[in-house]
Structure 1
């Protein structure tokens, strides 16, 4: 997967990996179609940070979900 390319497919891939890594219970709350490619770099930064980390505290997960929520289309 070439994440240097800004595409809807890559957004979908990153969102799914983020949900898996954070063990998001309500996956419907974070949907790939809720994101534009305009926010791609920010989403990619969050994705890369999440993939590198082994575990997360509850407060870290809350903060990450909040940041992802800010990137969603209005």
Structure 2
């Protein structure tokens, strides 16, 4: 297990990929590590840790998580 305390692009990639895998996201191309900024790393790490602790998600939980990730994305 990687030490995810440091906000690096490598760790950000691990976090995003981990969330996508845990949620079994069908369209994973909409969530790429490069779409996120390291300034929001702590929030992403918190979300990652929360997602990793749960064994299953309701539709409402999945929607809320995806919306939260969308809000964390860099603005174009």
TM-score by structure 2 length?
0.95
4+ residue segments displaced more than 6 Å: none
Structure 2: tracts of 5 or more residues without a match: none
Aligned residues: 74
Within 1, Cα distance between the matches of 2:21 and 2:59?
A: 15
Aligned to 2:73: 72
Aligned to 2:49: 48
TM-score by structure 1 length?
0.98
Within 1, Cα distance between the matches of 2:29 and 2:60?
A: 21
Within 1, Cα distance between the matches of 2:11 and 2:28?
A: 17
Within 1, Cα distance between the matches of 2:48 and 2:59?
A: 17
> 1:35-59 CA distances to partner (integer Å, 9 max, x unpaired)?
1110000000000000001100111
Within 2, Cα distance between the matches of 1:41 and 1:20?
A: 20
1:1-74 alignment, distance < 5 Å: 1-74=2-75
